[in-house]
Amino acid sequence: MLENKKIVLGITGGIAAYKAAELTRTLIKAGAQVRVIMTKSAEAFITPLTLQTLSQGPVYTNLFALTERYDIAHIALADWADAFVVAPATGNVIGKIASGIADDLLTTTLMAQNKPVLVCPAMNDKMLANPAVQENIGKLIRFGYAVMESGVGELACKTTGAGRLPDIPDILDAIENLFLPRDFAGEKVLITAGPTQEPLDPVRYITNRSSGKMGYALARAAHQRGAHVTLVSGPTHLPAPRVEKVIQVRTAMEMHQAVMDCCDDATLIIKAAAVADYRPKAQALQKIKKDRGMTAVELARNPDIIADLGARKKKGLLVGFAMETEDLLDNARQKLVKKNLDMIIANNLREEGAGFQTDTNVITILDRNGKTIALEKMSKLEAAHRILDHVRTLGAQKGSRGKK
């Protein structure tokens, strides 16, 4: 998503400046072009040579430096950039930007530009809580800057509190957000993800190979586009995404309950979870011993959560997934109709680059109007955005599923 995007990274003088090296590396890996501006105090924490090596480009430190070229650095950088990131941003620099002070290359460049800017504050917890700093952060937000919330945890000064530089993947997410439309602002999106586990006894359970990656990517994408996201997740090994609400469940029955509890005000529901269709009829309270000679497990049918949602015919759009190993499109279309969905995302477990554990997917989108869109292999996050793009198109046609 950041392929060929031109990012100016401003580094200011806090201990978290060393993490800017990792951020630079991550941006380059994501395909971005990076130019670094360092303040004088940042140079006390990390050397320009480190940043030059990692960014594969010049590092700018001095407002009045004579360079081989005649262009004025702050104007040239302001024109060149697609976006600006200040990470870490000290209370001092936040104060300067908020007050219209431009007394070094970074603050002058920021004053001279009109591109999206992300500010990532990092400082001691008491400094962050200082009313002047809080007021300045508020001002930046009012001026239209994107300001990240600092992380909470152990700080360099050995206290624990708010003020850590947010984690690099979260900063990367926020940088991607700068380039995304906020076309889901005001929407309430409910997403399910991951497998369910159906216990047989305290030790064993029935499950499937779902990793949750597709559902988590959808939650992230919807959040990036401004939606209020609730994620209902079965057991996964993934870190919880930064969304409004994450509800962890284990069984299909628990997922059914959680979804029914929060589906009413959802304007979009996407059921990416791989729900177990059956559960052991009886769940032993103690471990089942092998001497019992058990050779068969009696199963009970789980509720079909999405079919229940389809039958309730509420407002908003309902999107399902179909994971198949044969007759992909026929099976998917049948599920679309039978479960009263607006859209279904078909993926074939047997296709290279598709399926449960991978970071990529190969999907075909089918909608209630009979449209079929086959997409090439792409990352699950990109696929998530393409799904949301189609939701947008379908939503614009304004046929609620209640009208069917």
Binding residues (CB under 6 A) for ligand CTP: these are 252, 271, 273, 275, 277, 302, 304-306, 320-323, 335
Cβ closest to ligand CTP, residue 277 vs residue 389: 277
Q: Which residues pair with residue 193 across a beta bridge?
A: 233
- The first and second tokens of residue 99, run together, are 């007050």
Name the residue among 154, 150, 174 with its Cα closest to residue 163: 150
Q: Which residues contact 350 (CB under 8 A, 6 or more apart)?
A: 325
- Closest C-alpha among 58, 49, 59, 1 to residue 27: 1
Based on CB atoms, which residue is closest to ligand CTP, 148 or 322?
322
- Nearest approach in angstroms of CB 366 to ligand CTP is 12
- Whether residue 166 contacts residue 172, with contact meaning beta carbons closer than 8 Å, is answered with no
Q: Is 65 exposed, middle or buried (0-12, 13-18, 19+ CB in 10 A)?
A: exposed
Q: Is 157 a catalytic residue?
A: yes
* Shortest Cβ 271–ligand CTP spacing (Å): 4
Whole-angstrom distance, CA of residue 152 vs CA of residue 146: 19
CB nearer to ligand CTP: give 2 or 275. Answer: 275
Nearer of residues 12 and 302 to ligand CTP, judged by Cβ:
302
Q: What is the DSSP letter of 384?
A: H
- Nearest distance, CB of residue 98 and ligand CTP, angstroms: 46
Q: Which of 120, 157, 262, 263 is catalytic?
A: 157
Q: How far is the CB of 231 from ligand CTP (least distance, A)?
A: 14
Instruction: Quote the CA–CA distance of 155 and 95 in Å, as a whole number.
Output: 21
Nearest residue (CB) to ligand CTP, 20 versus 221? 221
Could you say which DSSP state residue 63 is in? Answer: T
**Closer Cβ to ligand CTP, 212 or 320, answer by number:** 320
Which has the closest alpha carbon to 85: 44, 56, 121?
Answer: 121
Indicate the residue among 23 and 275 with the shorter CB distance to ligand CTP. Answer: 275
> Strand 360-361 and strand 378-379: pairing?
antiparallel
HEC per residue, 213-267: HHHHHHHHHHHHCCCEEEEEECCCCCCCCCCCEEEECCCHHHHHHHHHHHCCCCC
Between CA 32 and CA 38 the distance in angstroms is: 19
CB of 284 to ligand CTP, least distance (A): 23
**Closest distance between ligand CTP and the C-beta of residue 254, in Å?**
12
Question: What are phi and psi for residue 26, nearest 5 degrees?
Answer: -65, -40
Residue 330 CB, nearest approach to ligand CTP (Å): 12
Catalytic residue set: 157
